[in-house]
Structure 1
Amino acid sequence: MIVWLNGELLDEGDARIDVRDRGFLLGDALFETLLARRGRIAFLDAHVVRLAAGANILGIPVPVSTGLLAIACEMLLEANGLSDEPRVALRITLSRGPGPRGLVPPENPIPTLLITAVESPPPPASLTAIVATPRRNALSPVSRLKAVPYLDNVLAREEARARGADEALMLDTSGYLSCASVANVFLWEGEKLVTPAEECGILPGVTRAAVIDLAVRLGIELVEDMIMPQRLARASGIFLTNSLMGLVPLSRIETNELAPHRMTGRLQAAYELLLEVEEEEADEF
């Protein structure tokens, strides 16, 4: 595999990250996961905006512009022979870079920027989930950043695997529904669509934002709310969203079977059209 590291295309065996890099030592880093379809990157601008916003909060300089990031991703796809593949996962990782021992960041950081690309399988038709033990800390600003420390999510996903499920739904420290281990959550309550509020320690997902916008355009009543887990059992449908899988319904939570909601398919179709529009606009650009 070829990677893009600090402005260079390198074989992964030749790529080197400083042993003092704070992303490796302290998790002092951010990342974005993007979907590319036949060389066209979905919602690149939105991902870069989120990356830049997180970097601004942490005080990490972003060493390249959106335009240069787009060129780097295109070069990487081509170098790996992935430009014509139907689904590719791109990951952009930005760390503060090397620093002295201890927690205090260097005054003039030299960030590390890494981009990788691998083929991505098609999304599943549905997923099963459990309500996991690890909680999201809604009071921490890190909960709203796409930050590298993902240990709570790792533990939640491992708990799901051990209990025979695909995904883990996570509550915040106050007991409200927050997110899944790698996705945002939406519930159907009749014809109303409900999703956890940002105050519940969610990551403001790029796909989440797109789905909210689509729901409003389609005339669907949408509420961002504080959701106690008891509402999961009463939901008439639940689906998860992230950049790689789009919208995927849950077929079971714990032992509770869930029937597909008729409007989920409509939103999935609308989201697919939105991706196609994004690709057409990228071609024109």
Structure 2
Amino acid sequence: MTAQDRGLLLGDGLFETMQLRNGTVPFLANHLSRLEEGCRILHLPSPDRNMIHAALGRLAAANSLTDGSVRLTLTRGPGPRGLTPPATPHTTLLITTAPSPGHAPHPVRLHISAQRRDRQAVLNRVKSLNALPAILARMEAQEQGADDALWLTHEGEIAEATAASFLALMDGQIVTPPLSAGILPGISRARLLEAGLCTEHTLTETDIPHLQGAWLVTALSLTPVTAIGAQDMSPQPELTARLRDFLYDSP
């Protein structure tokens, strides 16, 4: 990556964070499909899948890492000064690994962000390198004594957290906001829906006092939520264990 790279200068690119388990990346095809859809939206050339497969294997072996995480970062590459991208981009692909933390994530408290999510914003659908809204929302939450922020839409619907999909237990059923709430199409979220372990359901701020539990879910972790604003959430250890087993321990 050079000093002229648009990913560095403008956040012009995408990324995927993936689990590394026993030296391989589970559901790699799902991640690459989402990356390719993001490339289509941003008019970026998609990286070659075979090259990524080979690079992941070499990198895990070189780092002597069997369990942890992999981050794939794709930028438009170097370009002239200004916003207009080059007619023929020369993309930059960066793949890094990190070891597993070795423990389940600690439960978190959520703050309802003062920011509001635009349901129609195209960047909701991609894992963009433009993370400033999430950074500011996370900082706002921490200033309020919380760990993370929960975004609502302008219409008052619950969307997602700053870097995770939102799950809730409502009337004995696990539900998650629909994509129409302007959320990222999460890989773990999609797997839970496909397996029938949760359903899509529109949630609003007025539903929060009626939730029996809540979680944040990513490709790497399932995190219980202990409170949303002033509303405490009941712990759900059995459901948490069941969801974690399906997402991260089952073959």
When the two structures are superposed, what TM-score results if normalisation uses the length of structure 1? 0.82
Match of 1:68 among 33, 40, 51: 51
In structure 2, give the amino acid aligned to 1:149. Answer: N
- Counterpart check, 1:164 vs 2:139: no
Match of 2:64 among 77, 81, 84: 81
Compute the RMSD of aligned alpha carbons: 1.7
Match of 1:110 among 90, 96, 99: 90
1:57 and 1:234 map into 2 onto residues whose CA distance is: 37
2:210 and 2:104 map into 1 onto residues whose CA distance is: 26
2:98 and 2:120 map into 1 onto residues whose CA distance is: 34
CA shift for structure 1 position 179: 0.3
Please name the residue that 2:205 is paired with: 229
1:57 and 1:129 map into 2 onto residues whose CA distance is: 31
Please name the residue that 1:184 is paired with: 165
Q: Any stretches of 5+ residues in structure 1 without a counterpart?
A: 1-16, 278-285
- Counterpart check, 1:41 vs 2:25: yes
1:272 and 1:34 map into 2 onto residues whose CA distance is: 11
2:58 and 2:234 map into 1 onto residues whose CA distance is: 43
Q: Which runs of 4+ in 1 moved over 3 A?
A: 261-265
1:81 and 1:266 map into 2 onto residues whose CA distance is: 30
1:184 and 1:117 map into 2 onto residues whose CA distance is: 22
CA shift for structure 1 position 201: 1.2
CA shift for structure 1 position 130: 1.3
In structure 2, give the amino acid aligned to 1:33. Answer: T
In structure 2, give the amino acid aligned to 1:241. Answer: V
In structure 2, give the amino acid aligned to 1:154. Answer: I
The alignment of Structure 1 onto Structure 2 pairs a total of residues equal to 249
Partner of 2:156, secondary structure, is coil
Contact 1:196 1:225 in 2 (8 A): yes
CA shift for structure 1 position 125: 4.5
CA shift for structure 1 position 110: 0.7
Contact 2:208 2:231 in 1 (8 A): no
When the two structures are superposed, what TM-score results if normalisation uses the length of structure 2? 0.92
Q: Any stretches of 5+ residues in structure 2 without a counterpart?
A: none
Partner of 1:90, secondary structure, is strand
Contact 2:137 2:149 in 1 (8 A): yes
Please name the residue that 1:4 is paired with: none
Match of 1:238 among 203, 214, 229: 214
Partner of 1:266, secondary structure, is helix
Residues 6-32 of structure 1: CA distance to partner in whole angstroms, max 9, x if unpaired?
xxxxxxxxxxx1222111122110000
Q: How does 1:142-157 map to 2 (within 5 A)?
A: 142-157=123-138
Partner of 1:40, secondary structure, is coil
1:118 and 1:265 map into 2 onto residues whose CA distance is: 24
In structure 2, give the amino acid aligned to 1:159. Answer: E
